[in-house]
Amino acid sequence: MTLRQKQCLLMYLGYYDGPVDGIWGERSRQATMDFQHSAGLVPDGIFGQKTEEAILKYIVADPWADIQFFTQAEFACKCGAYCSGYPARMDIRVVKIADRARAHFGAPAEVVSGLRCEVHNRNVGGVANSRHMRGKAIDLRIRGVNAAQLLDYLESEPEVRYAYAINDTNVHLDVE
Ligand SMILES: [Zn+2]
Ligand SMILES: [Zn+2]
């Protein structure tokens, strides 16, 4: 696989948004690490044989196939005007965390905020580099569960980088 092809696949999967120029810089390395994280590989940023095999599997597999409770539409940007609804691809790790939380509590869950385009992020008062814009964050609430209980549960999810209560019921969570 050439460096260009590697960048192309990383871009297709939503991990890379730099130029497809075959020059392996910091963004390519970071994108590789992000993908490796998602694929459960050692995130060393080196796009070797194992990463190549894993990414080819991802290209043909539907990462949403084993998501039980959510559809992609539930994570779409809610601006309704400034983007297609999908300014980025949801990081499947976030979706899986939400899915497991939903299963754990056995009650309906709502993605209060998923993907955000820049305009929407600004309009809802998100920070300038919000992970919502990269599909790496959601605001979630689960019926009958308060924010403290949900945060408690999220302690058991090692991939959660940061989680906090937005109010009594809604929790923001994100991954690296
Ligand atoms: Zn939008
Ligand atoms: Zn948030």
Tally of CB atoms within 10 A around 77 = 24
Q: Which residues have their alpha-adjacent CB atom under 5 A from ion ligand 2?
A: 137, 139, 172
User: How far apart are the C-alpha atoms of 165 and 158, rounded to whole Å?
Assistant: 18
Ligand 1 center to 104 CA (angstroms)? 30
**Section 116-143 average pLDDT:** 97
Considering every ligand atom shown, identify the ligand nearest to the alpha carbon of residue 136 and give its number.
2
Ligand 2 center to 51 CA (angstroms)? 30
Q: Quote the mean pLDDT of the chain.
A: 95
Considering every ligand atom shown, identify the ligand nearest to the alpha carbon of residue 138 and give its number.
2
Radius of gyration of the chain (CA): 17
Question: Where does the pLDDT of residue 61 fall: very low under 50, low under 70, confident under 90, or very high at 90 and above?
Answer: confident
* pLDDT of 115 over the 90 cut: yes
Ligand 2 center to 116 CA (angstroms)? 10
**Section 72-80 average pLDDT:** 96
Ligand 2 center to 62 CA (angstroms)? 25
* pLDDT of 81 over the 90 cut: yes
Question: Where does the pLDDT of residue 46 fall: very low under 50, low under 70, confident under 90, or very high at 90 and above?
Answer: very high
**Section 19-31 average pLDDT:** 96
Question: Where does the pLDDT of residue 59 fall: very low under 50, low under 70, confident under 90, or very high at 90 and above?
Answer: confident
Element (H, E) at 141: strand 137-142
